[in-house]
């Protein structure tokens, strides 16, 4: 077998648009000449003007040096995350805040050569929160060093939306240092947490939950509204205007509900949600009812080290539920019968299912405000990969640099497997198994060529979830078949581990299916690609001149295999034989 190849280099046109205006107004030209004449008559004005220009240039170089060079005292761990500038915001910073000025914009790093202030400077207090508050609202998340990349993505999404009124709680000194030297407002939670991923359900996981409740109880007495978020969620749209639509609400919380209770952006119907409140996204107003709830919740989780904070919240807030506050707002009385609760709609404050699986917001033609990486079974690796597939995760430039180049292919799926027949376990397995065999072959080729495999999008007939269901959850908008996240099929948490080579063989690098569409991928990589059509060597038009294969496969950043069989051994042997035949190592 040999490969017939066509190398293509797509060149993008650059349109240059002139901004001049023909036929300039003669009156303006006369005014310009008059001003020039006046400037010649006043050398003092020229000196002042030159001094101003010099000052602007000096300021520019100072700001440039501050942004592009971090302090020598910054941590050296995860250098790519701490020193690259991929995270710089796209939205202009406005320092005015209701007559006051913020201390400094986010992402403005400390001056070179400076030292980190004493640790007590980072202690949570009202003055520290007040520095970041805008319109009496503060947006807060927290985490340890294991979630640094999630935190950076969380902050960047907010700053790109023009939101600067945020704070990040540091659960260990390593993440506090990293965030400080990045120019992110951070405070010390005094948690003394491990820097490692705690893992769901572990003692460290429950400790993290307790710290969250303690934090809410500590901030509310300051008198500010609190938008509390987990680090594994992403803001897609400024939520503050939406939250302001419900001024009577003491608490607004997201949910794990999988079905839409309304087709518009109304709060979800509390009668249809059940015991599925999710505390990954929720908004608190500093009312007496909210403070009372926070204190009781804190006492509850501190009394039981094994209690999941979310379960405790659901138990305590649903002690009394109903009636509705009024006919229109969607609010309901909860907790002690006085607290006014609202449930953020799952269609636009999305869970990991309503966003990544159902795409409910698309089907209802709504604009999502946020997505939370819930409803997946591959831990932190699965959360990160889902955000990458959706091109919502901000990776440093090194992630887009594959020294050996990239390999990708399009799945070949017979119609009978994808569309025909009933949706059952057998048809789902046949469809998925057919695709995984092709991916297995592609992984072998990628290993042989020392390239990074760009995974294809996968099709599934059945959903993947931890509770019993008949293929898809009843009442959801999941269509069959559907494009399913990679974590539906592959154990990503294992695939991303560094396993012993003597036992598992050499590692094979891979990327998400949307990798080539990501705006962060360099243009020169996207324009350097090679189509490879695998064919039978004895057939006509299936001969390759000596070593042209080697030439192209080394020059092209992206190799696209047009057709790929699912049998791994023959195709791997054939490729290896072709390379050797043409003197290619």
State the CATH number of the domain containing residue 357.
3.90.550.10
Measured CA to CA, the distance from residue 395 to residue 577 in angstroms comes to 37
On whether both 459 and 359 belong to a single domain, the answer is no
Query: Does residue 17 form part of some domain?
Result: no
Measured CA to CA, the distance from residue 512 to residue 305 in angstroms comes to 38
Least confident of 15-19, 97-101, 177-181: 15-19
Helix residue ranges, H only, 69-172: 79-83, 126-130, 148-160
Report the phi/psi class of residue 507: left, alpha or beta, with left for phi > 0 and alpha for psi in -120 to 50. Answer: beta
pLDDT of residue 445 exceeding 50, the answer is: yes
Element (H, E) at 387: helix 379-389
pLDDT of residue 33 exceeding 90, the answer is: no
What confidence score (pLDDT) does residue 541 get? Answer: 65
What confidence score (pLDDT) does residue 360 get? Answer: 98
pLDDT, tens digit, for every residue of 206-216? 999 999 999 99
On whether both 354 and 234 belong to a single domain, the answer is yes
On whether both 320 and 439 belong to a single domain, the answer is no
Residue 312 structural domain: 119-372
Measured CA to CA, the distance from residue 216 to residue 138 in angstroms comes to 12
- The answer to whether the beta carbons of residues 525 and 400 sit under 8 Å apart is yes
Last residue within a domain, chosen from 319, 353, 372: 372
Sign of the dihedral through C-alpha 495, 401, 447, 574: positive
Query: Does residue 75 form part of some domain?
Result: no
What is the pLDDT averaged over residues 395-418?
A: 93
Distances (CA, A) of 332 to 36, 292, 341, 342: 70, 17, 5, 6
Q: Residue 24: pLDDT band by 50, 70, 90 thresholds? A: very low
Query: Does residue 417 form part of some domain?
Result: yes
pTM: 0.80
Q: Residue 201: pLDDT band by 50, 70, 90 thresholds? A: confident
Least confident of 36-50, 285-299, 315-329: 36-50
Residues 6+ apart with CB under 8 A from 297: 213, 216, 217, 309, 312, 313, 316
On whether both 356 and 468 belong to a single domain, the answer is no
Helix residue ranges, H only, 419-539: 425-449, 492-495, 501-504, 523-526
What confidence score (pLDDT) does residue 554 get? Answer: 54
pLDDT, tens digit, for every residue of 288-311? 999 999 999 999 999 999 999 999
Least confident of 178-187, 273-282, 286-295, 524-533: 524-533
On whether both 360 and 404 belong to a single domain, the answer is no
On whether both 468 and 523 belong to a single domain, the answer is yes
Q: Which two tokens stand for residue 546?
A: 């000596």
Pairing relationship of beta strands 186-188 and 137-143 according to DSSP bridges: unpaired
- The answer to whether the beta carbons of residues 277 and 343 sit under 8 Å apart is yes
What confidence score (pLDDT) does residue 559 get? Answer: 74
Residues 6+ apart with CB under 8 A from 372: 230, 232, 233, 254, 278, 280, 281, 349, 350, 351, 352
pLDDT of residue 98 exceeding 50, the answer is: no
């Amino acid at each position: 077998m040999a490969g017939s190849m066509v190398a293509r280099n797509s060149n993008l046109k650059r349109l240059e648009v002139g901004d001049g205006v023909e036929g300039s107004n003669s009156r303006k030209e006369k005014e310009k000449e008059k001003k020039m004449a006046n400037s010649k008559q006043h050398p003092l004005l020229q000196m002042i003007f030159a001094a101003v220009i010099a000052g602007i240039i000096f300021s520019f170089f100072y700001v440039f040096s501050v942004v592009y060079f971090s302090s020598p005292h910054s941590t050296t761990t995860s250098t790519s995350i701490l020193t690259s500038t991929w995270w710089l915001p796209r939205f202009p910073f406005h320092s005015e805040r209701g007559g006051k000025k913020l201390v400094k914009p986010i992402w403005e790093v400390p001056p070179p050569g400076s030292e980190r202030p004493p640790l007590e400077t980072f202690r949570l207090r009202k003055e520290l929160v007040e520095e970041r508050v805008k319109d009496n609202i503060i947006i807060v998340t927290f985490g340890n060093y294991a979630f640094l990349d999630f935190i950076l993505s969380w902050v960047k999404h907010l700053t790109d939306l023009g939101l600067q009124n945020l704070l990040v709680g540091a659960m260990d000194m390593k993440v506090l240092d990293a965030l400080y030297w990045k120019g992110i407002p951070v405070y010390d939670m005094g948690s003394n947490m491990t820097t490692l991923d705690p893992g769901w359900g572990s003692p460290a996981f429950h400790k993290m939950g307790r710290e969250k409740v303690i934090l809410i109880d500590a901030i509310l007495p300051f008198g500010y509204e609190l938008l509390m978020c987990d680090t594994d969620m992403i803001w897609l749209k400024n939520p503050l205007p939406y939250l302001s639509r419900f001024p009577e609400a003491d608490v607004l919380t997201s949910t794990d509900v999988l079905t839409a209770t309304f087709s518009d952006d109304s709060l979800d119907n509390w009668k249809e949600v059940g015991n599925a409140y999710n505390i990954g996204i929720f908004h608190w107003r500093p009312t007496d009812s909210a403070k009372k709830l926070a204190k009781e919740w804190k006492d509850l989780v501190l009394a039981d080290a094994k209690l999941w904070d979310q379960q405790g919240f659901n138990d305590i807030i649903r002690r009394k539920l109903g009636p509705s506050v009024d006919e229109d707002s969607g609010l309901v009385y909860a907790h002690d019968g006085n607290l006014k609760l609202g449930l953020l709609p799952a269609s636009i404050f999305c869970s990991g299912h309503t966003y990544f699986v159902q795409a409910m917001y698309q089907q209802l033609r709504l604009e999502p405000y946020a997505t939370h990486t819930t409803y997946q079974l591959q831990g932190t690796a699965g959360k990160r990969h889902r955000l990458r597939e959706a091109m919502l995760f901000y990776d440093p430039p090194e992630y887009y640099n594959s020294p050996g180049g990239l390999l990708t292919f399009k799945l070949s799926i017979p119609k009978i497997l994808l569309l025909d027949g009933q949706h059952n376990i057998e048809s789902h397995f046949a469809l998925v198994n057919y695709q995984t065999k092709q991916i297995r072959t592609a992984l072998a080729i990628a290993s042989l060529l020392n390239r990074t495999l760009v995974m294809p999008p996968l099709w599934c007939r059945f959903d993947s979830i931890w509770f019993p269901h008949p293929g898809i959850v009843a009442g959801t908008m999941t269509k069959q078949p559907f494009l399913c996240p990679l974590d539906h099929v592959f154990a990503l948490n294992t695939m991303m581990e560094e396993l012993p080579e003597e036992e598992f063989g050499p590692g094979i690098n891979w990327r998400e299916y949307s990798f080539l569409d990501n705006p962060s991928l360099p243009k020169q990589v996207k324009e350097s690609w090679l189509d490879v059509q695998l064919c039978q060597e004895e057939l006509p038009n299936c001969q390759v001149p000596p070593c042209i294969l080697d030439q192209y496969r080394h020059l092209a950043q992206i190799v696209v295999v047009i057709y790929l069989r699912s049998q791994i051994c023959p195709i791997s042997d054939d490729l290896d034989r072709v390379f050797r035949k043409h003197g290619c190592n």
